[in-house]
């Protein structure tokens, strides 16, 4: 009888322990990288941006292998030819294939945009972090240079120098360098402000007491902790650089002949945009898709890295 009296209680206790046991198990914590990746992939806008940019990149990479014509080749029987089986996107007034020229222009614009974004983000990160870390006279000189470059008419200087370079072999490299030199200042100010907020952190102080060299502290401890801003800045910098290149090339100050870019193609096609629209629509459409995709990716990266953002908080 005693065993029977105890058995219902024992059975109930056993059942309760079984129910509580799974809830008591510790949940697996996600790392910051996993959380950022999860937020990014749950953002539909960023997924659309990735797909769009991947299509643009594949078009630039595979285009030369599927094109029937070279971008500099002339078809003397196809002046102002509309889209056809021979010329998929039509031909220009000079008989050049629009498809091949759009692919080549996209390749140049992508190279310029990615290179400029990388260079100007790197310059902004190094100058801004060093100015805040060393402070004193270095900070004053850095701020003076930043303020000076901000008031300099960069558009005119880039136009003058790129025009002098002309069709030289290194004109694209010089153009990239000029765009990067005049595009890092605002980002450097933001990096400086963020560095001021972390330079007295415990991990930085500990590294100083351990006699770690200043540049090592900047590259190993400070910049990684403000990498969120740098990633966003580099992503959005691609779109900004492509727009700058397009605008300068449109007015004849950017990429020079015989090279082509999306800006030069749009400038060439806008004169006949109403009568022969295929010359203008092809590069303009590719440029629009690329810029929208890059901006979508930049917005997705920003929302994923910023926990307080609206879309990032949905993760």
The count of structural domains within the chain is 1
In a domain? residue 179: yes
User: Helix (H, G, I), strand (E, B), or coil: what is residue 96?
Assistant: strand
For 286-312, letters b (16+ CB in 10 Å) and e give bbebbbbbbbbbbbbbbbbbbeeeebb
pLDDT of residue 51: 93
- pLDDT at position 76: 80
Q: Name the DSSP letter for residue 91.
A: B
Q: Is residue 68 part of a domain?
A: no
Residue 282, domain member (yes or no): no
Position 307 scores a pLDDT of 55
**Which residues form the domain of 192?**
107-150+159-241
Q: Are 30 and 38 in contact, with CB atoms under 8 Å apart?
A: yes
CB-based contact 74:96 (threshold 8 Å):
yes
DSSP 151-174: HS-HHHHHHHHHHHHTT-TTHHHH
Q: What is this structure's pTM?
A: 0.77
Residue 138 domain-assigned (yes or no): yes
Q: What is the pLDDT of residue 80?
A: 79
293 lies in a domain? no
Contact 304, 314 (CB under 8 A): no
Give every residue of the chain whose pLDDT is below 50, as ranges. Answer: 1-2, 4-27, 167, 169-170, 311-315
Q: What is the pLDDT of residues 50-69, one digit of tens each?
A: 999 999 999 999 988 888 88
- Output the pLDDT for position 127: 93
The C-alpha atoms of residue 247 and residue 226 are separated, in whole angstroms, by: 31
Two tokens, residue 23: 């809830």
Predicted local confidence at residue 32, as pLDDT: 66
Tens-place pLDDT, residues 218-269: 888 888 888 888 888 888 888 888 888 888 877 777 777 677 888 888 887 8
Q: Is residue 163 part of a domain?
A: yes
Q: How far apart are CA 181 and CA 82, in angstroms?
A: 41
Tokens 């007034």 -> residue: 93
pLDDT of residue 58: 93
Q: Is residue 42 part of a domain?
A: no
Is 120 domain-assigned? yes
């Amino acid at each position: 009888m005693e065993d029977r009296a105890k058995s219902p209680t024992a059975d109930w206790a056993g059942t309760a322990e079984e129910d509580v046991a799974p809830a008591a198990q510790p949940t697996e914590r996600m790392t910051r990288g996993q959380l950022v990746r999860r937020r990014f992939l749950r953002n539909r806008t960023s997924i659309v941006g990735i797909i769009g940019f991947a299509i643009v990149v594949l078009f630039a990479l595979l285009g030369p292998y599927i094109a029937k014509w070279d971008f500099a080749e002339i078809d003397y029987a196809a002046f102002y030819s509309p889209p056809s089986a021979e010329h998929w996107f039509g031909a220009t007034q000079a008989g050049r294939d629009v498809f091949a020229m759009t692919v080549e222009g996209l390749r140049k614009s992508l190279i310029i945009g990615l290179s400029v974004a990388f260079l100007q983000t790197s310059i902004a990160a190094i100058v801004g972090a060093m100015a805040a870390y060393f402070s004193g006279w270095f900070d004053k000189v850095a701020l003076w240079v930043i303020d000076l470059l901000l008031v300099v008419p960069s558009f005119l200087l880039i136009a003058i120098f790129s025009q002098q370079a002309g069709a030289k072999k290194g004109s694209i490299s010089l153009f990239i360098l000029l765009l990067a030199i005049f595009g890092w200042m605002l980002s450097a100010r933001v990096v400086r402000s963020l560095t001021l907020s972390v330079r007295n952190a415990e991990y930085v102080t500990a590294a100083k007491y351990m006699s770690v060299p200043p540049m090592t502290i900047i590259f190993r401890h400070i910049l990684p902790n403000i990498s969120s801003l740098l990633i966003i800045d580099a992503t959005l910098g691609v779109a900004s650089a492509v727009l700058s290149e397009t605008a300068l090339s449109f007015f004849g100050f950017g990429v020079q002949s015989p090279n082509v870019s999306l800006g030069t193609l749009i400038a060439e096609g806008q004169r006949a945009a109403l009568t022969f629209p295929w010359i203008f629509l092809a590069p303009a459409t590719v440029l629009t898709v690329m810029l929208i995709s890059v901006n979508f990716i930049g917005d997705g990266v920003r929302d994923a890295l910023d926990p307080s953002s609206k879309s990032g908080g949905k993760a």
